[in-house]
Amino acid sequence: MPDAPAPQTATASSGPLTGLRVVEFAGIGPGPFACMMLADMGADVITFDRLNANKNQKSATGRGRRIVELDLKDEAARGRVLDLLEHADALIEGFRPGVMERLGLGPDAVHARNPRLVYGRMTGWGQHGPLAQAAGHDINYISVTGALAAIGPAERPVPPLNLVGDFGGGALYLVVGVLAALLEARQSGKGQVVDAAMCDGAASLMTMFFDFMAAGRWADGRESNFIDGGAHFYGVYECACGHFISIGSIEPQFYALLRQRAGLSDPAFDAQMDREAWPALKQKLAAIFKSKTREEWCNIMEGTDICFAPVLSLSEAPLHPHMAARHTFVERHGTIQPAPAPRFSRTPSVIRETAKSDIVDIIKAWRAGT
């Protein structure tokens, strides 16, 4: 397993966001993930956490930060935070609406000290609306968007981990929003608030499916459509060994190759896009795939235009030849973790170390422009 790139040193920098100063207020889920991405891409991320938090400094999602522990209820500590924010480019917080305002660190107070700052707010329900103050988790935020109802077998929805709300609809939209606002601030000289709500982001991720619905190409029910497990040519199948494989042979030429390699000579398979035929064809295909092991099917299909891949576990994924060749996973502090993404040809991202720091030293350095 390849090691990660060497940590950034005081005299070397890398990543397209080198020079960007971000202040993070510690949270869980999408906020830390967003800041991990920014840190990987070169941003100087300072994380404020509570006293004696003692967070794991080897955490993958917490990587690349300088951590400052303090009591935000202390007036002197809040004053130092504002002193630091005066020299920051962006702030990221993930509290319920109103918490930062009660601490005296809301957008109005911060913008009074630093009008150019981009204020990123990460929540589940958003800064306003009937549910804004309600507790929730990823599963709840994607429930109201149509996303959860569309995922899983016909019998009931299945939570897609917390990928759709927390990370896809949350962290990634927060990163895009903050970077877009930073670009605009360079032109206008003015910062703004980025209201990144997981329910908004998850709804946005569903855009293509609302398009399909409007065009009459999508049935409002699970396992009823060509990419939700309803079709025989797009799904997951068990092999003789108990492992699984995935196929996505949508296009006619890919479907033809699937038939050739899997020996699907039965004329019934001619009706690829006949929805009424899909259940029976799924049963036929399931029996065929159950006749060989996953390794045997990999030898027959992997690397072809069938649109095929083995379904790998978390422990298996880093060992796959393609993942290994691209160094998609790296070993860091004795554990395996995903490497930074995306990749940059001239200013590559690196994994930086996380360490506790003193806020006074950081303020002095930022004031001096270092």
Q: Which residue has the tokens 């270092």?
A: 370
Q: Which residue has the tokens 């500590």?
A: 77
Work out whether strand 234-238 and strand 193-197 pair parallel, antiparallel, or are unpaired: unpaired
DSSP designation for 45: E
Q: Which residue has the tokens 């630091």?
A: 84
Q: Which residue has the tokens 């930022």?
A: 366
HSE-up of residue 218 (Cα within 13 Å, Cβ side): 16
Selected catalytic residue, list 137, 243, 320, 333: 137
Residues 6+ apart with CB under 8 A from 52: 69
Selected catalytic residue, list 40, 49, 138, 166: 166
Q: Which residue has the tokens 């306003």?
A: 128
The span from the CA of 147 to the CA of 43, in Å, is: 32
The span from the CA of 64 to the CA of 42, in Å, is: 9
Angle at 166 between CA 160 and CA 169, to 5 degrees: 90
- Looking at the chain, list the stretches that DSSP marks H as alpha helix, in order from N- to C-terminal side: 30-40, 75-85, 99-102, 107-113, 138-143, 172-188, 198-205, 207-214, 252-262, 278-289, 294-301, 321-325, 359-367
* Three-state DSSP state, 165: helix
| Known catalytic membership, residue 137 | yes
The span from the CA of 104 to the CA of 79, in Å, is: 10
Which pair of tokens denotes residue 21? 């100063």
| Known catalytic membership, residue 333 | no
Q: What amino acid positions are annotated as catalytic residues?
A: 137, 166
